[in-house]
A = this chain, B = another copy of it.
Amino acid sequence: MSKAWGENHVLRGLDFEVRAGEKVSIIGPSGSGKTTILRILMTLEYPDEGIVTVGGDPLWDVKRGSKPRETKQMRETRKKVGMVFQQFNLFPHMTVLENVIEAPVHVLGMPKAEAKERAVELLEMVGLQAHIGHRPPQLSGGQQQRVAIARALAMRPRVMLFDEPTSALDPELIGEVLGVIRELATTTDMTMLMVTHEMRFAQEISDRVVMFDKGVVVEKGPPEEIFTNPSHERTRSFLRAVLER
């Protein structure tokens, strides 16, 4: 799969696979294309060429030079994928509860009562039962991000994408969000892809870490290996810059 913005080749002949239930962290310097991968998986961006499948179903199948269009197939496959954004992207004019039930009710067609019940459960899980009736702007960043996680989970996705879920947060609030993600990682069999700069956290929860630079995978492997004994110079220098300061 490839993707370019004009002359800027962001992803170059990328080819990798994530097994069902696997937890994968994507690391790499700024501008290396990490976000772009997630956005393509969420169909917010289209690849210039290549094939992407989710759980065996095709999501993208693009020939070079053609501009792909949204298909019904794609829309169905997309429902299996959930995403948590760096900037939370909650709907500010709806309450926390409304945010969480919006999609189950109007996309999956779940009855409202059932959706509410599930939403309350999820909000309890992320520790926000007390804020069900509040609106997002009244919450702290950490709380908002937890709502965003609950909202994505409400669709029961098979794959969850996290794009630097903590980088817009104050240092003290990061912990609470990472706590929720850790919980998810250890207690569910959801497939998780996470872009993060929290190296210690990535090491702790991932089955595999992928190091990325200039649109190609530099190195991938179990976290112990990547963090303690990287085989590429680029990985070493990146880790040095991020960790040793």
Contacts and interface: CB of A to CB of B under 8 A. Distances in A.
Interface of A is mostly: helix
Contacts of A222: none
A200 B245 CA distance: 6
Contacts of A244: 175, 200
Nearest to A141: B30
A171 B30 contact: yes
A50 interface: no
Contact of A197 (B171, B200, B238): B171
B30 A175 contact: no
Interface in A163-200: 170-175, 178, 197-198, 200
Interface of A: 29-30, 170-175, 178, 197-198, 200-201, 238, 241-242, 244-245
22 contacts: A29-B170, A29-B172, A30-B170, A30-B171, A30-B172, A30-B173, A171-B197, A171-B241, A171-B242, A172-B238, A172-B241, A172-B242, A174-B241, A174-B245, A175-B241, A175-B244, A175-B245, A178-B245, A198-B245, A200-B244, A200-B245, A201-B245
